[in-house]
Structure 1
Amino acid sequence: MMDRIRTFFLDRGGAPAEGARHSEDELHLAATALLVEAACMDDDFDAEERATVQRMLSERFGMDPAEAGRLVDLAEQKVAESVELFSSVRTVKDRFDHDERVELLEMLWEVVYADGSLHDYEANLLRRLAALIHVTDQESGQARKRALAKLNIQG
């Protein structure tokens, strides 16, 4: 799996064929890149946020912890080298169904709150991402509430 993800990172190819579904690797890669970007928005990708991302990858995508850790490392490297998120956002917007996009947004809320607080940059990023992936403000707010409940944080 990691070789396929590395290949995808290095060769993003053209646009998908009309109506094409995303591969499992694309889901994992796009989700992880956005999760890492959200975690890095406050300039502090701490151990708690890293553990949250790895746990979510393990739980939601059935990855073993070592594989999730390698994917986070790879995504962190690519986020550091990238000047834009458009390719990950485009993959999510174009290839994920609506429920998958809402689920990803919930994961993003959980990551930005993993350290117990929400930085203004994190909130701004999630507002922008929700709009870009066609998730309504109401759906984003509900996803935020679910994430806060999972973390036992009062919103």
Structure 2
Amino acid sequence: MLENLRRFLHDLAGVPEADHFAVDDYRVAAAALLINLSGVDGVVTDAERDALHASLKSHLGLDEAETAELIAAAGSREAEAVDLYAFTSVLRRSLDAAGRAQIVEMMWEIVFADGAVHEIEDNIVWRAADLLGVSSRERIELKRRIAAGARPLNAEHG
């Protein structure tokens, strides 16, 4: 009943009923963290955009429309945030240790998407992992695993 009332008030106010993702949804926090990371070096490449979409879709089990909606919701949330804690605090409360490690893994997927690891990206992952309670050892192991699977941009196609 409350959901119907909320929907009615949104319709009455002309606010689109587009988001299935609450502000405190861990998926929004995860996506916002990844969006922040993808733009931290000043350039968001197509490879990073594609990696963001693919990572969220596969790790969170979303379809195309849900993934696009999540990215839109997270983009708004990321624009309002002043630090990583806004995202990591939600993730730390919502996820177990394996889930938090998965977030760090997703971060490395974004970092390696463009074929280059920038120092600031590495630093953001380190800080976020620390705030998430993911050990340095596990963070480095995740980095190595993702790096081993990353294909350099200038690799020859065979």
- Normalising by the smaller structure, the TM-score range is 0.7 to 0.9
Report the TM-score when normalising by structure 1: 0.79
Q: Separation in 2 of the partners of 1:47 and 1:66?
A: 19
Q: Which runs of 5+ in 1 are unaligned?
A: 13-25
Identity of aligned residues (%): 29
Q: Which has the larger radius of gyration?
A: 2
Residues 1-150 of structure 1 mapped to structure 2, 5 A cutoff: 3-5=19-21, 8-9=22-23, 12=24, 26-150=25-149
Shift of 1:58: 1.4
Runs (4+) off by over 3 Å: none
- Give the match for residue 15 of structure 1: none
> What secondary structure, in the 3-state scheme, does the structure 2 residue paired with 1:84 have?
coil
Structure 1 stretch displaced more, 93-102 or 69-78: 69-78
Aligned mates of 2:18, 2:86 — CA distance in 1: 19
Which shifted more, 60-69 or 116-125? 60-69
C-alpha RMSD over aligned residues: 1.8
Q: Is the CA contact (8 Å cut-off) linking 2:26 and 2:91 kept in structure 1?
A: yes
Supply the AA of the counterpart residue of 2:19: D
**1:38·1:122 contact (CA, 8 Å) conserved in 2?**
yes
The gaps in structure 2 that reach 5 residues or longer are: 1-16, 153-158
What amino acid does structure 2 have at the position aligned with 1:121? I
- Give 1:98 shift: 0.4
SS of the residue aligned with 2:20? Answer: helix
Deviation at 1:133, TM superposition (A): 0.8
